[in-house]
Amino acid sequence: MEQEIATQVAGLGGATDFSLLQLFLRADFVVKSVIIILIASSVYSWALIFEKYKLFKKINITTEEFENKFWKSKSAESFNNSLPAKSADPVTLIFKDAMTELLRTKSKSSAVQTARVERVLEISSDKQIKILEKNFTYLATIGATAPFIGLFGTVWGIMNSFQSIAISRNTSLAIVAPGIAEALFATALGLLAAIPAVIAYNKFNSDSRRYASRIDNFCKRFLSII
């Protein structure tokens, strides 16, 4: 470890390039690992953000279309028969599950039929909401841990800078500047990964609650007509 630091100190005289690439290349193994983890976390969180954004935008449109057609239809059974065999809309899938149970229990009493349909609506709604909220935990985890991972890289880089001072016996800023720059780079990456993840998590969590309320309202209205 000390020999590696001594080598770095010996080459600091010409190490005046503070570009992001050079900061990464000059960093030691631990700081490089922290930087790679944070960049991977940021890329993954942005992939989730775009995926969820497209998902909520799509289902809000398809659910609006479904509800408009449903309430204009003459009967639930005829409307169910007109639906496509495959659909990605959560409310459509919930309705189809409920209609399957409703038609299957035609011979039962009204109270039994309603109770069974209500149970299917609850189970199907819970299933669809869980699908919508899938990977929310990852966004929350990245938002909560990325700053601390970056802080760990910062502390490690500053420790290396102090060791460089001890080995070279030189308190010149040129000795410690590269190590401090690497350390601050890790902190910046931690914030870069965390801030979008936290904002996205709060937004999508709010969108999910609104959509869950929409599902609940539809289920109650559908139960009232059967």
Residue 13 lies in a domain: no
Could you tell me which residues come within 8 angstroms of residue 136 by beta carbon, excluding any fewer than 6 positions away?
Answer: 201, 204, 205, 208
pLDDT of residue 191: 92
Residue 12 lies in a domain: no
Instruction: For residue 116, give both structure tokens.
Output: 């069974």
Cα–Cα dist 198/102, whole Å: 42
* Number of structural domains in the chain: 1
Number of helices and strands in the chain (H, E):
8, 0
Stretch among 80-94, 105-119, 159-173, 192-206 having the lowest mean pLDDT: 159-173
Domain that holds residue 30: 20-225
Residue 124 lies in a domain: yes
0.75 exceeded by the pTM? yes
| pLDDT band with cut points at 50, 70 and 90 for residue 90 | very high
Percent of residues, the chain, with pLDDT higher than 90: 46
Residue 9 lies in a domain: no
Residue 106 lies in a domain: yes
Residue 199 lies in a domain: yes
For the cut 50, the answer to whether the pLDDT of residue 184 exceeds it is: yes
For the cut 70, the answer to whether the pLDDT of residue 181 exceeds it is: yes
∠45-50-53 over CA atoms, to 5°?
Answer: 120
Cα–Cα dist 209/133, whole Å: 10
Residue 6 lies in a domain: no
Residue 74 lies in a domain: yes
Cα–Cα dist 77/18, whole Å: 69
For the cut 90, the answer to whether the pLDDT of residue 82 exceeds it is: no
Q: Which of the two residues, 23 and 39, has the higher pLDDT score?
A: 39
In this predicted model, what pLDDT tens digit does every residue of 141-155 receive, in sequence order? 999 999 999 888 888
pLDDT of residue 14: 43
Nearest one of 153, 204, 199, 219 to 180, comparing CA atoms: 153
